[in-house]
Each structure stands twice: as C-alpha cells, then as structure tokens.
Chain A
Amino acid sequence: DAMVIQNPRYQVTQFGKPVTLSCSQTLNHNVMYWYQQKSSQAPKLLFHYYDKDFNNEADTPDNFQSRRPNTSFCFLDIRSPGLGDAAMYLCATSKVEGSGEKLFFGSGTQLSVL
C-alpha cells in the first residue's frame, strides 16, 4: 500500500549531538511537510518542500534543517538538539500545495534528548 514511512519510530539522542530523522513516501506526492508536536499540543509546521522548493516557517529555529534529495525522501536534521526539542516529529505529504488538499501522515518519530 502507498504510504508515508518514518524511521526510526523512537530516537534517543544526547544534548547537542546532531540527529537526523527520515521520511519516505510511495505516494509520489509533490509536497512534503515536517511538523513538530509536543505533548498534548497541536502539530506545528516547521517547513515544507514543494518539489525541490524549500519553504521555511518564520519561527522555525535555525537549529532545524531539511533535505529532500528526491521526490520520495525527506530528512529533518537537528544540528544541536536541546532538551526543548524533545517531541514527536511528523512527516506528511500532499499531492500539491493549496486549498482542498488533504495531508497524509507518517506514524511519527518520537525524539528524546538526554
């Protein structure tokens, strides 16, 4: 089945140690999103790619970077994780940008920072 896959399901890193989360999709969607979700809060959009065009949210810290080497894969790099970066990170896709498009989510990666 076509889907959005996130690996790993759980990730533990140390304070200040770079970490990369990955997302792949078999839907052949043009848009890929990264959301951060802290406990009992709404998912917060960090950035998204429309094809190769990168769109960063204004309040996304510089500590967060992303790469999309091809249509299927997208990575979230956290350069120097702090304790406040512990959260669920959700990858999502949509066919195109714009109103009326629904999002398809992966199962998320739960990041712990020790």
Chain B
Amino acid sequence: SQQGEEDPQALSIQEGENATMNCSYKTSINNLQWYRQNSGRGLVHLILIRSNEREKHSGRLRVTLDTSKKSSSLLITASRAADTASYFCATDGENFVFGPGTRLSVLP
C-alpha cells in the first residue's frame, strides 16, 4: 500500500503566487523526500527532510515536517510557469514508496 498521500491531487495557480502541497503518511519514518516530475519525464529530487528536522529551505522551496501528525508540506514561493509539474513525496523504509502526487499548473 502507498505510504505517502499528497493533497491536493491537482492545483492551479497564477504565476507569482505561492503553491502549497501536503503529504500524509502512515508509519514512522527516518526521512521524507520530495520529487518533481515534468510531464513524460523522470523524477528529479528536490529536497530531503529528516525526522528530527521541522523545516528546511532550498531556494524557493520550503518543506515542513510534523511527525506527530505524520504530515509534510512543500511550499513553492513566487511560482513560475516552469514550476508546472507533478510533485511527489516519498518516504523511506526498505524501499522508497511514492504517493500519488500533486499536479501543479502555474498559469502565466
């Protein structure tokens, strides 16, 4: 069964707005990762947050982790049309398990 579940399934915003995507998971984790996938391409690693971290930044990306609620959020600030993609969270364990993803559309 899938470990991570992203919310919302689809998100449409205007360029310059912030985009927030959420991920919930079921069991304890050591770390959580976010990946991006452009249409018809492979996934690209964005950021990893460890279970003892609460927040992490990378450029326009901000990731939070709440282990008590078993949830994480990915915030993309000042979005651009080029941010249009699907975003997946993945939790660790013996193997990576991906959630179904959030499809983000950034309209120019």
User: Mind listing 11 A-B residue pairs with CB under 8 Å?
Assistant: A33-B95, A40-B100, A42-B100, A42-B101, A90-B42, A99-B93, A103-B43, A103-B45, A104-B45, A105-B43, A108-B40
Answer whether residue A107 sits at the interface, using C-beta atoms and an 8 A cutoff. yes
A79 within 8 A of B: no
| Interface size class, chain A | 20 to 34
Closest chain-B Cβ to A48's Cβ sits at a distance in Å of: 7
Closest 10 CB pairs of A and B: A105-B42, A99-B30, A42-B98, A99-B92, A102-B45, A105-B43, A42-B100, A107-B42, A43-B98, A108-B42
Query: Known: A42-B2, A42-B98, A42-B101. Is A100-B41 also a contact (CB below 8 A)?
Result: no
Specify the chain B residue showing the minimal Cβ separation from A4.
Answer: B42
Partner of A88 from the list B40, B50, B90, B95 (CB cut-off 8 Å) is B40
Excluding A100-B30, A105-B44, 20 further A-B contacts by CB distance (< 8 Å) are A4-B42, A40-B100, A43-B43, A43-B88, A45-B95, A45-B96, A48-B95, A55-B95, A90-B42, A90-B43, A92-B42, A92-B43, A97-B94, A99-B31, A99-B92, A102-B33, A103-B96, A106-B42, A107-B42, A108-B42
Residues of A within 8 A of B95 (CB): 33, 45, 48, 55, 57
Q: In the docked arrangement, what's the CA distance between A105 and B95, Å?
A: 15
